[in-house]
Structure 1
Amino acid sequence: MTEALKVGEKLPSEAELDKIYNVSRTPVKQALNQLENDGYIYRLQGKGSFVANRRPAEIWTRMTGFRSNYLDKWEKISSKTIEISQRKGCFTHLFNIDDNEKITYLKRVRYFDDKPILYLEHYVNPFIPNDIFENNHSFISLGQLLKEKLNIEMVRAEEEIEPINATTTIANILHIPEGTPLLKVTRISYDQKNLPIDVNPYIVNTKEWKYKINFRQEDVHEDF
């Protein structure tokens, strides 16, 4: 099997792959599991494995608890930037900048099947040029955008989670009643040099989008 598969195209079944590559079922399963973990394919129960579009699922989903949602539903996800501005005095200590230095501030909405499910804000390290956001209003993943445009890769993130109730503004953006219980996640993303790149508070309508984490033994430390 030498021809390239296109995004959305179905892979051969495990039995077919066994015959194509003349190997046993175990290495085929291991290979498919690794491809799924890396975001190259996604699986639909009862339907099989399909080639994924890694762009929306690449960075954001591999580093958050929403990964399981994104990997098999990427084609229904879209985003829109609703504000780009400059702000002073935000996260100056974290970014190691003067209080008067401006940083880029973004407001965005992420949609699933054209329904708003996440409201996002970004406070971006000032060494990132503002024009990449001005020219890309509908990017899915800020990490993927920075990787493509500047070869900056987010390799580490910290997250804090807290419950909140929808304010009037958030309720209007997410099309939900005011006071609806929501989940607020604040994440700080770091690049290969351990520099903080993005402070990203985002608010999730968990009735539509679930947060899920699977721990492995190597993830759990003694001070957990």
Structure 2
Amino acid sequence: MRKTEKVLEHLKDMWYNRNIPKHFSREAPVMEQNPILKLPLSLDSEIPLYSQLMGIIKRSITSGALKVGDLLPSEAELCRAYDISRNTVRQAIGALEEEGFVVRKRGKGTFVSDPNTRRKGVQYSFTTEISQLGKSPSSTLVDFAVITPSPRIVALMGLEPGVKVYRFTRVRNVDGAPLILETSYYPEYIYPNLTRELLETHSFYSLLYHVGVIPFSASDTYEAVVLSPHEAQLLHCAPGSAAFFHQRRTTTENGHIYEYTTSYMRADRVKLDVRFQKGSTSFMRTVD
């Protein structure tokens, strides 16, 4: 047994003392070669750290330095390389996954996604989606409350008995004009002490990113409906106008549903395009 231990120790020493360039660490001799870790991040910049990290990873992908299927550094490696928090890394990676640049595989890591199989055009975040269309997003908060959910909401979200939820209704505006009437439900425990004031001044998805709640998948349905007088009034159109009724349930990586949202979208300003090709489906939602 002692002889075996000595052999293993000798092999370990040979590994650590081999000829490795000085700028590589012993702990991660292969991953340190990742091009992401060669680009600078400024701790003194006014640009948020997560945005800087997103830019670094995007440039590595779009420049071809990272290829489809390449593995990104782990959260721990990015934290260590840039001296940033795990939440900052999660916010950046979550946003990149939302935009379709990367895909996370449970137990394996985060990889560069194939642009030919990305689900294009629909983002988890309204702000991100509209900004990418070159338009100006804004929101008007109509109602905010902490409620005991109805049996229907409990069933849709798979909630435990007694769990309170946030319910808030917003009018989503594009270039200042109402486009979507949206009501969302979230378990209170995912972001305790949320206030109306905080919701009016921050993107709720950004707040969730900061506490590590990151969307992993979503299930959407669309129906053709007509607007009631109340809905039409909030959307500045005539009662009986055509609309899309959209429902979404969003889950985390562990499969927990943390969001249920219903939306009425003005059909005169929203167009849905679906393109099918071998091995992929491309879904595009555009706004006039």
TM-score by length of 1: 0.63
Moved more, 198-207 or 86-95: 86-95
| Aligned-partner Cα distance in 1 for 2:164–2:41 | 49
| Aligned-partner Cα distance in 2 for 1:133–1:174 | 25
> 1:20-35 to 2 correspondence within 5 Å?
none
Identify, as 1 or 2, the structure richer in helix.
2
Determine which of 142, 152, 168 is the counterpart of 2:229. Answer: 168
Amino acid corresponding to residue 176 of structure 1 in structure 2: C
What's the RMSD between the two structures over aligned residues?
Answer: 3.6
> Deviations along 1:93-140, whole A, 9 cap, x unmatched?
333321x54211110111011100001001112322353353121445
Quote how far apart the aligned CAs of 1:81 are: 1.7
Establish whether residue 103 from structure 1 lines up as the match of residue 165 from structure 2: yes
Q: Alignment length, in residue pairs? A: 174
- C-alpha contact (below 8 Å) 1:66/1:211 kept by paired residues: no
**Does the residue aligned with 1:147 lie in a helix, a strand or coil?**
helix
Q: Quote the residue 1:219 is aligned against.
A: 280
Q: Which runs of 5+ in 1 are unaligned?
A: 8-26, 41-59
Moved more, 198-207 or 80-89: 80-89
- C-alpha contact (below 8 Å) 2:163/2:187 kept by paired residues: no
Quote how far apart the aligned CAs of 1:164 are: 1.0
- C-alpha contact (below 8 Å) 1:186/1:199 kept by paired residues: yes
Establish whether residue 77 from structure 1 lines up as the match of residue 140 from structure 2: no
Quote how far apart the aligned CAs of 1:193 are: 1.7
Quote how far apart the aligned CAs of 1:165 are: 0.6
Determine which of 110, 113, 121 is the counterpart of 2:183. Answer: 121
Moved more, 87-96 or 192-201: 87-96
- C-alpha contact (below 8 Å) 2:250/2:259 kept by paired residues: yes
Change (3 A) 1:28 1:126: closer
Q: Quote the residue 1:158 is aligned against.
A: 219
TM-score by length of 2: 0.51
**Which structure has the larger Rg over C-alpha atoms?**
2
Q: Quote the residue 2:255 is aligned against.
A: 194
| Aligned-partner Cα distance in 2 for 1:171–1:118 | 10
- C-alpha contact (below 8 Å) 1:104/1:125 kept by paired residues: yes
Structure number with the bigger relative contact order (C-alpha 8 A, sep ≥ 6) is: 1
- C-alpha contact (below 8 Å) 1:81/1:138 kept by paired residues: no
| Aligned-partner Cα distance in 2 for 1:165–1:30 | 49
Quick one: percent identity of the two aligned structures?
13
**Does the residue aligned with 2:199 lie in a helix, a strand or coil?**
coil
- C-alpha contact (below 8 Å) 1:79/1:138 kept by paired residues: no
Q: Quote the residue 2:154 is aligned against.
A: 92
Change (3 A) 1:28 1:219: same
Change (3 A) 1:89 1:72: closer
- C-alpha contact (below 8 Å) 1:84/1:106 kept by paired residues: yes
**Does the residue aligned with 2:139 lie in a helix, a strand or coil?**
strand
Moved more, 126-135 or 183-192: 126-135
**Does the residue aligned with 2:200 lie in a helix, a strand or coil?**
coil
**Does the residue aligned with 1:131 lie in a helix, a strand or coil?**
coil
